[in-house]
Chains A and B, each alone.
Chain A
Amino acid sequence: MGVGIEVRGLNAWYGKNQSLKNIDMTVPANHVTAVIGPSGCGKSTFVRCLNRMHETIPDARAEGLVKVGDVEVYGNGTDPVDVRRKIGMVFQKPNPFPTMSIYDNVAAGLRLNGLGNRKQMGELVERSLKLSALWEEVKDTLHKKSGASLSGGQQQRLCIARALAVEPDVLLMDEPASALDPISTSKIEELIFQLKQHYTVVIVTHNMQQAARVAEFTGFFLMGALIEYDKTEKIFTTPADKRTEDYITGRFG
């Protein structure tokens, strides 16, 4: 089951550049929350702060309170590796492990974390591929084909399956469909809709229609600040802030 996310006073830097300024946000469990905004507004940085991927970039740092379920993500003694195991992530460009078969790609997270025996692993791989709606297309070539031999859309669903296999509570998606064609995009969107039954989903997108289609809640970021955060319907029909209105009506960005 998914868990909620609580963010209070989150700040992030790249070197001396502050890219997130004092973000407060509450993400409800088992819902899809979209993060929108123009390029460079900090929306990707924001989700990367939620699972401590931000700090893997040299000179990048973040501080503030982030609570995912009961885990204090930036608490003393919290191991970023444990955080990332609980919070799965799907990236903008599909990034399957190129030298591994489809099966090994999905099993990688389990195997390299020393989780699960062979039989459980097989079941988890199948379950994850079914959840990501890829099973029917790859079930006959699980061991024969490499992950890199799939089409772009299939690769992205493979990456989703890989993230789901370690059974996270939260799934972060950083523009998961921006490199895909419209058909693959609609498949991913359908999938996101299914996933919220089991997971809390946070999706970054600069496609506003996509946010309107998949998300119940939407946050609008501008220049590192969270301008407005509300029900998606409210954001797109009667935004409270002038800047949100300008953005969604296409006046800038």
Chain B
Amino acid sequence: MAAAFLVLVPLLAIFVYLLLKGIGSLNWAFLTQIPKPVGEPGGGMANAMVGSGLILLIASVIGIPLGIGCGIYLAEYGRNRFGDIVRFTADVLNGVPSIVIGIAAYSLVVMRQKHFSAYSGGLALAIMMVPTVARATEEMLLMVPNSIREAALGLGIPKWRTTISITLRTASAGVITGCMLAFARVAGETAPLLFTAFGNQYWSLNPNQPTAALPLQIFSYAISPFYEWHKQAWAGALILIVMIVTAVAAVRIVTSRGILKGTS
């Protein structure tokens, strides 16, 4: 009980502090406008919110299917040497500092293309998502009793179909939690975006161009010498946390509905 309470304290403390510091600069302009030049008051982080959404979308589209596929392999086919190697690699990858992942994405994409882009930022975040999603998927699939697989195979359902439509479906609640965890973790990452998405003071919806992102914007505003920008950084941090919580809650509500009622 006391331990459970201690878990709540830091989260609540952070949220309340952000609310106090950030709410003052939060207004309609902040949510709809792009940053103003230095010295001019007002302006907002609308481009960074959209940019973050874009980068996270790219990261999820690459990282989640890859991670789930890898997890399926590990759980259902990976009882061998190669599986052990993949498992070990995933665990090591999980511990690689995020800035190093950023450098990898920089040399893989940015150096080749000779310009920064949302693609490269998304790729960096996707690389960070894969091991988390893969290991979570593996654990959840291994928790599905073997009798469920046998029931499906006994009906003459092919193994691949059993894995996707029965085993993965049975484990879906846990797998989705794993994906959300990975998503929430990379959503706040700044370091991998520094030299991939790079940031952008203007509107850009082209994922092949340098793209603004909330963590980047918060970072550059927070280290700036301007009081006005510091206040905006607080507001940006508040928005970031609200965006993550909303996304996680929304996915949870939508998917839990689908699971309880079943499809038909």
Contact = CB atoms under 8 A, between A and B. Distances in A.
Interface stretch (A5-13, A89-97, A182-190): A89-97
Nearest to B164: A112
A91 B263 contact: no
9 contacts: A53-B150, A84-B154, A97-B170, A99-B259, A104-B264, A108-B155, A112-B152, A146-B262, A159-B151
B153 A91 contact: no
B152 A91 contact: no
Interface string A131-154: 000000000000100100000000
Given A97-B151, A112-B155, 11 more contacts: A51-B154, A53-B153, A56-B153, A91-B154, A95-B145, A97-B148, A97-B166, A104-B263, A108-B152, A112-B152, A159-B151
Contacts of B166: 97, 108, 112
A102 to B, nearest CB: 9
Given A91-B147, A93-B147, A146-B262, A99 B172 contact: yes
Contacts of A83: 156
Interface in A73-89: 81-86, 88-89
Contacts of A143: 261-262, 264
A100 interface: yes
B264 to A, nearest CB: 6
Contacts of A58: 79
Contacts of A162: 151, 155
B175 to A, nearest CB: 12
B155 A88 contact: yes
B148 A109 contact: no
Given A95-B145, A99-B259, A88 B154 contact: yes
A95 B153 CA distance: 12
Contacts of A27: none
A101 interface: yes
Interface of B: 79, 145, 147-158, 161-162, 165-166, 169-170, 172, 259-264
A82 B153 CA distance: 11
Contacts of B152: 97, 108, 112
A18 B105 CA distance: 54
A51 B155 CA distance: 10
B262 A163 contact: no
A83 B149 CA distance: 17
Contact of A104 (B158, B161, B262): B262
A95 B261 CA distance: 19
A117 B263 CA distance: 15
The residue in A53, A99, A109 that gathers the most chain B C-beta atoms within 10 A of its C-beta is A99
Contacts of B170: 97-99
A204 interface: no
A56 B150 contact: yes
A82 B79 CA distance: 26
A84 B153 contact: yes
Contacts of A99: 169-170, 172, 259, 262
Contacts of A91: 147, 150-151, 154
B93 to A, nearest CB: 28
A112 B165 contact: yes
Contacts of B172: 99
B154 A113 contact: no
Contacts of B263: 104
A100 B172 CA distance: 12
Contact of B157 (A93, A96, A112): A112
A143 B260 CA distance: 10
Contacts of A163: 154-155
B172 to A, nearest CB: 7
Contacts of B261: 101, 143
A215 interface: no
A107 interface: yes
Contact of A53 (B154, B161, B169, B259): B154
A220 interface: no
A233 to B, nearest CB: 31
B151 A85 contact: no
Nearest to A89: B154
Contacts of B260: 146
